[in-house]
Amino acid sequence: MPPRNCALCANARAMLKRPKTGQQICRGCFFYVFETEVHNTITEAKLFKPGDKVAIGASGGKDSTVLAHVMKTLNERYQYGLDLFLLSIDEGITGYRDDSLETVKRNQQQYDIPLKILSYDELYGWTMDAIVSQVGKKNNCTFCGVFRRQALDRGAATLGVDHIVTGHNADDIAETVLMNIMRGDIARLGRCTLICTQGEDTIKRSKPFKYAYEKEIVMYAYFKKLDYFSTECIYSPDAYRGHARVFLKDLEAARPSAIIDIIHSGEAFEVREEVKATQKVQQTCQRCGYMSSNELCKACTLLEGLERGMANSAITDRARKKLDAEGPAPDNLRTIPFYRAPSAAGPNASIAVEAPS
C-alpha cells in the first residue's frame, strides 16, 4: 500500500490505523484525539472541580499507567486544578505484584505524584497467597475483587481524597454490559455504564477511560514509551467471563465500533421503574461501617469465613447457612478496621455502590 496522509490533519504521513475508527492517522493526531476524547469524557460528565484531590488507582498495568500519564497531561493542559495521588493495592501475590509495584514507584518519581501503597495483609491480615492456600484457586477471584474494592476506598480515605479514578477501559465496560445481561444482574446492568458513581458521602469513583479502547491504550503506551507490566494473575480467571471476553474480541474484529456500540446500548436503557422498586436498599456494614446491601458487607463475610476456616461461606447460600448454624462470630474474631469516609459519613447514610467491574 502506498504511503498515505493522515485522515485527520492531511499533513503528516499516516502511521497507524486507529482501532476505534479504522482511520489511518499520524502519531500526533493519535495522541491528540486520544487525549481529547478523554478530556471530552471528563468535561461532559463534569467529573472534577478545581481543587479536587484525586487518587489514581495504580496497579502498574497498562491502563493505570496510561491513565496516570493522561491525567497529568490533561490537568496541566486544561488547568483542571487537581491535586493528584497514586494509590496502589498490594494483594500479596508473590511474583505477580512485585514488578508492577516497582512500575508504580517509578511513575511516582516521573510524574512527581505522591504514592500510597496499601496491602491486603495490613488491612485484612490475609495476603492473597494465604487466601489461596486456604480456599484454592476456584473462588479466589471473589475474595480478591471484594477486598480490592474496599481497599481502594480505605486507601483513598487515608489520603483524604475526594475522588478515585480507575483505569477501566471501554472493553472492560462493554464486557461488563454483556456479562450483566447474561447473568441477569439487573442492578449492576443499570449502573455499569455510569462514568461516575457516588452516594452522598462516599468517595466518588470514575472511569475517564470509559470510551478508550484497550488497543489504543496499549498503542498510546507504546508510542509514548511508557513502561508497564502486563502480568497475568497467576491464580486463574474464571472461565465464564473468559467466554464473554473472547466473544467481545470477535465482535470487535467483525466491526471495531462494536465496543462503543455496546456501551451506547448500555447507556440507552435503564431498569424499568417497577423493577427498580424491588431492588435492595443500600446500608452500611454493622461490623466495619462499609457500604453493604446486607447487615454484613461482603468483605466482612469473606473474612469471617477465612478466620473460621469456612472460606466458602460467602460464596454459596448453603455454605453461609452452615456458617450461621455454627453459631455467631466469636468475639475475638479479627475484623476490618471501622471505615470512615473522608467527609465523615453518618453510620446509616444510604449509599449507592458500583460494580467493581
Partner 1 sequence: MSSCGNPAVEAEALMSRRLKFDKSRSCVKCKTNVGNIVIRHAVYCKDCFTPLQTTKFKRSLEPSINPASASTSGPRRTKLKATGNLLIGFSGGLGSTVLLDLVSRCYISSNETVENVDGNSKPRGGTKHPRNQSVWMEARACYVEMCGAFPESGMRDRTDEVRKAVERYNGFEFVSLRIEDAFDSRWWASVGGRDQIRERDLGVDLSDEELLLSSLQHSSDSSPLAALQKYLSSLPTTTATQSSLTALTRLLLLYTALATSSSHLLLGTTLTGLSIGLISGVAMGGGFVVREEAGEEWEPRISGLAGEERRIKVVRPLQDMGMKECAAWVWWNGLEVVGKENVVGVKQGIGGLTKDFIVGLERDYPSTVSTIARTCAKLAPKDAAVERCVMCERPAQRGVQDWKARISIRSFNSPESEMSIPLPPHIQSAIPPPSHPHHSSFSPSLTPLLCYGCHTTLTSRSSRGTALQSKNLSKSLTDVIAPLPVWVSSRLLDSVVNPGGEMRDDLGGDAWQSKKMDVKEMRDAVKDFLLED
Q: Which residues contribute to the annotated binding site for ATP?
A: 57-59, 63, 89, 167, 172
Q: How many residues does the chain have?
A: 357
Mark the segment that binds partner 1 (CB under 8 A) among 112-120, 144-152, 153-161, 195-203: 144-152
Name the 3-class secondary structure at 76.
helix
Neighbour tally for 331: CB within 10 Å: 5
Based on CB atoms, which residue is closest to partner 1, 80 or 345? 80
d(CA 38, CA 197): 17
What SS3 state is found at 163? Answer: strand
Q: Give how far the C-alpha of residue 136 lies from the chain's centroid of Cα atoms, to the nearest Å.
A: 24
CB of 152 or CB of 157, closer to partner 1: 152
Q: Does 275 bind partner 1 (CB under 8 A)?
A: yes
Give which of 106, 35, 40, 45 is closest to 72, Cα–Cα: 35
Indicate whether 59 belongs to the interface with partner 1 (CB under 8 A).
Answer: yes
Alpha-helical (H) ranges within 78-213 are: 97-111, 120-124, 128-135, 140-159, 170-182, 186-191
Among 233, 282, 319, 342, binds partner 1 (CB under 8 A): 233
* Region 280-299 residues binding partner 1, contact defined as CB under 8 A: 298
- Contact by Cβ (8 Å): 335, 300: yes
Tell me how far, at minimum, the Cβ of 109 lies from partner 1, in Å: 20
Nearest by Cα to 56 from 135, 152, 134, 126: 152
Asked whether position 241 contacts partner 1 by CB under 8 A, the answer is: yes
Distance of CA 187 to the CA centre of its chain: 17
Q: How many Cα atoms are found within 13 Å in the side-chain-facing hemisphere of 128? A: 26
Query: Which residue has 464486557 as its cell numbers?
Result: 175
Decide: 284 and 348 in contact? Cβ < 8 Å.
Answer: yes
Contact segment (CB under 8 A) with partner 1 among 68-76, 115-123, 251-259, 322-330 equals 251-259
Q: Binding partner 1 by CB under 8 A: which of 129, 153, 175, 304?
A: 175
Shortest distance (Å) from residue 187 CB to partner 1: 10
Considering beta carbons, is residue 162 or 354 the nearer one to partner 1?
354
Contact predicate 311/134, CB 8 Å: yes
Applying CB under 8 A, the span of 111-119, 177-185, 287-295, 335-343 interacting with partner 1 comes to: 177-185
Least Cβ distance, residue 251 to partner 1 (angstroms): 5
Q: Determine the interface stretch with partner 1 among 68-76, 108-116, 165-173, 332-340 (rule: CB under 8 A).
A: 165-173
Considering only residues 193-232, where is the footprint of partner 1 by CB under 8 A? 211, 214, 232
Residue 136 touches partner 1, criterion: CB under 8 A = no
Least separation in angstroms between CB 46 and partner 1: 14
**Among 16, 130, 141, 310, interactor with partner 1 by CB under 8 A:** 141
Binding mask 14-43 for partner 1 (x = CB under 8 A): ---x--xxxx--x-xx-xxx--xx-xxx--
For residue 166, what is its C-alpha cell? 480507575
Rounded to 5 degrees, φ, ψ at 165 are -110, 140
* Minimum distance, C-beta of residue 326 to partner 1, in the bound complex (Å): 20
Q: Using an 8 Å Cβ cutoff, are 174 and 248 in contact?
A: yes
Residue from 132, 144, 161, 299 in contact with partner 1 (CB under 8 A): 144
* Minimum distance, C-beta of residue 315 to partner 1, in the bound complex (Å): 6
Quote the least distance from Cβ 87 to partner 1, whole Å. 12
- Phi, psi (deg, nearest 5) at residue 274: -65, -25
Among 258, 283, 293, 335, binds partner 1 (CB under 8 A): 258
Sole window of 114-122, 195-203, 270-278, 328-336 interacting with partner 1 (rule: CB under 8 A): 270-278
Q: What distance in Å separates the CA atoms of residue 319 and residue 164, rounded to the nearest whole number?
A: 34
Query: Count of residues binding partner 1 (CB under 8 A)?
Result: 93
